[in-house]
Amino acid sequence: MTRGILYVESRPASPEEAEAYHAWYEGTHFKEMLQIEGVVTARRFAALGDDAPYVAVYELEADDIAAVQARIGEAARTGRLAAPVGVATDPPPRMWFCRELSAHSA
Residue 93: which pLDDT band, with cuts at 50, 70 and 90? very high
pLDDT for 4 equals 97
What does the pLDDT look like over 19-71, one tens digit per residue?
999 999 999 999 999 999 999 999 999 989 888 899 999 999 999 999 999 99
Architecture field, domain 2-99: 2-Layer Sandwich (3.30)
> Quick check: 95 and 6 in contact, CB under 8 A?
yes
pLDDT for 60 equals 98
The whole-model pTM stands at 0.93
Q: 83-104 burial, b for 16+ CB within 10 Å, e for fewer?
A: ebbbbbeeeeeeeebeeeeeee
> Quick check: 29 and 82 in contact, CB under 8 A?
yes
Radius of gyration of the chain (CA): 14
